[in-house]
Chains A and B, each alone.
Chain A
Amino acid sequence: MEYILSVATVAGINIIMALSFYAPFMTGQVSLAQAGFAAIGAYSAAVCTVKFGIPYIPAVIIGGVVAGVVGFILGIPALRIKGIYLLLLTLGFGEIVRVIFINIEYVGGAAGFPGIPYQENTFFYAYGLVLILIVCFERLRNSRMGRAMRAVGDDETAAEINGINITAVKLKAFAAGAFIAGMGGGILAHFQEFIEPLMFGVMHSVEYIVFAIFGGVQVFWGPIFGAIVLSFVPEFFRFVQAWRHEIYGALLIVMMIIKPEGVITNDSVRFIKKIFRGS
């Protein structure tokens, strides 16, 4: 039971991270910096609880805010560039964050930051945050901001012609993604009790992308579904566990070839809603 709870908790954190990738992705921005933002959030939150004795919830929120502010600052120059250039910028940023934490002795440097107080109820906090995020994304979906975000993601020029301030929309989405990732990092730090710079490498950002892309990027249920499936499946099949990463890779290629829009699409959400309404 404890084992399943721990797997479910990790799945919850993965959902948060997948959604943190999804927020900027809605506006067409692919970010490889999410693990870097998670690192900023994790270290900030851990410093708050360990060095200043701040309680858990404010510490996690502070972690998110710090990451969000950094995301906002990074987002300003990032707005001038897009596509592959933005990807490279976020990739470089993620690596720089990692190297900077290796060099800060105050938080343990390369050896890592031990002794972070363990949060017993991480499961509830993680899924509480997931619930809040679901409510936010659902409310966002048909709001002016949500429609603007999708419009920017579909076609920036067309969106701009229709009077959308694409700079503001993209910047907000990017900072929101960083904020979510920062809180995810803070929650992770207090679940693992130990963090080190290696935990936040580029390949982790890639993993969050795989969650989101596998699940689908048309609606926010996609990243949630992807994170749950890809967190649980490897835990219950030994064979899958050993070859987990190879399977992730193959899955990503196959999805791109046969179903680039992901498993959960607008149509499938409509279909499920219809079933619930019909019965």
Chain B
Amino acid sequence: MFIQQLINGLMLGSTYSLVAIGYALIFGVLGLLHFAHGEVLMVGAFMGLYIILWTGLPLYIALPLTMVVTGILGMIIQFLAIRPLKKNFHLAPLLSTIGVTIILQNLAVKIFGGYGTRFPDTIAMDNIMLGPYMVSSVKLIIMGISLLLMVIFYLIIKKTKLGKAMRALAESHLTAGFLGVNVERTVFLTFGIASALAGAAGVMIGVSYSAISPFIGLTFALKGLVVMLLGGMGNVVGAMIGGLILGVAEVLSITLLPTEVNLQDIFSFGIMIIILIFKPTGLFGSKQN
């Protein structure tokens, strides 16, 4: 039973990780909180849904397509709402991305309706026996895809020129610019990559919860923020591990805590407040801001 809950938690946590990586990446490179990141995830969930519904494409094609769309959306957000800002008001990026959040959420309610939409079954529901433990195939596949995306992302950060440029920007925009990094382009692509991961998380959440609504953005944005704090602000690897920790902790809290009180909703916020008060740098250290 415990092992089974652990697997459920890792599955849930891997989607949190994907969201939190985007936050951590943008915070690390730009030092700003991208408030609309959750709404990008929500758009990704709906894009995935409609690509599958209208074209009947299988998940492994619909997922990359969605990632491209949300990646472009992220770059548009950066281009329209962040790039034109003047640098003298440090709250400006936060407030303008709050503006983006309001727009995307309300447009989604108008287009898709305020109620939940059922996600089609894209993966055959089989229960696989892993030794003595029964695990559903959907959860295994979600976890597998999430982990694969994280590995790819990690390799991009560590091995490619773009990744090197991002890490240089995280140190200092000015110095990186002097040393020949194309700052504007790298920031642009950072938003693209972060948003593509959020889109993937959106599709995965749609598949695993089998229902989505325009309001899932805020829910998962908050989870992603908790995870980023847990792993350390701007710490990408911390975000990956933090997501898994929160996922497991949440699932265990549902099993272990009394069920009369609806505690799981505030569980993650409780963790967040405790971390903020006692260890604002997170479990794995963070970028000084």
The CA of A203 and the CA of B218, in the complex, are separated in Å by 9
- Shortest CB-to-CB span from A102 to chain B, Å, is 7
* Of the residues A202, A248, A256, contact of B92 by C-beta under 8 Å: A256
Contact with B along A231-260 (1 / 0, CB 8 A): 000000000000001101111110011001
Chain A interface size, as a band, is 35 or more
- Judged by a CB distance under 8 angstroms, whether A168 is at the interface is no
Q: Are A100 and B266 in contact (CB under 8 A)?
A: yes
Main secondary structure of the interface of B (DSSP, over half): helix
- Shortest CB-to-CB span from B287 to chain A, Å, is 11
Contact with A along B80-112 (1 / 0, CB 8 A): 110011101111111110111111011100000
Q: Which residues of B contact A7 (CB under 8 A)?
A: none
- Shortest CB-to-CB span from B32 to chain A, Å, is 8
Contact with A along B271-289 (1 / 0, CB 8 A): 0110011001000000001
Q: Are A202 and B269 in contact (CB under 8 A)?
A: no
* Of the residues B33, B102, B262, B277, contact of A84 by C-beta under 8 Å: B33
Main secondary structure of the interface of A (DSSP, over half): helix
Contact with B along A81-122 (1 / 0, CB 8 A): 101110111011101100110110000000000000000000
Q: Which residues of B contact A252 (CB under 8 A)?
A: 95-96, 98-99, 102
Q: Are B265 and A260 in contact (CB under 8 A)?
A: no
- Judged by a CB distance under 8 angstroms, whether A59 is at the interface is no
Q: Are A257 and B33 in contact (CB under 8 A)?
A: no
* Of the residues B98, B266, B276, contact of A89 by C-beta under 8 Å: B276
B 234-284 contacts with A by CB, 8 A: 261-262, 265-266, 269-270, 272-273, 276-277, 280
Q: Are A256 and B99 in contact (CB under 8 A)?
A: yes
- Judged by a CB distance under 8 angstroms, whether B165 is at the interface is no
Q: Are A92 and B269 in contact (CB under 8 A)?
A: yes
* Of the residues B88, B90, B95, B229, contact of A213 by C-beta under 8 Å: B95
Q: Are B266 and A99 in contact (CB under 8 A)?
A: yes
The CA of A124 and the CA of B198, in the complex, are separated in Å by 48
Q: Which residues of B contact A250 (CB under 8 A)?
A: 99, 103
Interface residues of B (CB under 8 A from A): 27, 33, 80-81, 84-86, 88-96, 98-103, 105-107, 218, 222, 225-226, 229, 233, 261-262, 265-266, 269-270, 272-273, 276-277, 280, 289
User: Can you list 26 A-B pairs with a CB-CB distance of less than 8 A?
Assistant: A80-B277, A80-B280, A83-B289, A85-B276, A85-B280, A88-B272, A88-B276, A89-B276, A96-B266, A96-B269, A99-B265, A99-B266, A103-B261, A203-B218, A209-B98, A210-B98, A248-B99, A248-B102, A249-B99, A249-B102, A249-B103, A253-B80, A253-B81, A257-B86, A260-B85, A260-B88
- Other than the known A80-B277, A84-B94, A246-B102, what 10 A-B pairs have Cβ atoms closer than 8 Å? A81-B277, A84-B27, A88-B225, A93-B269, A206-B98, A210-B98, A210-B102, A249-B98, A249-B106, A261-B89
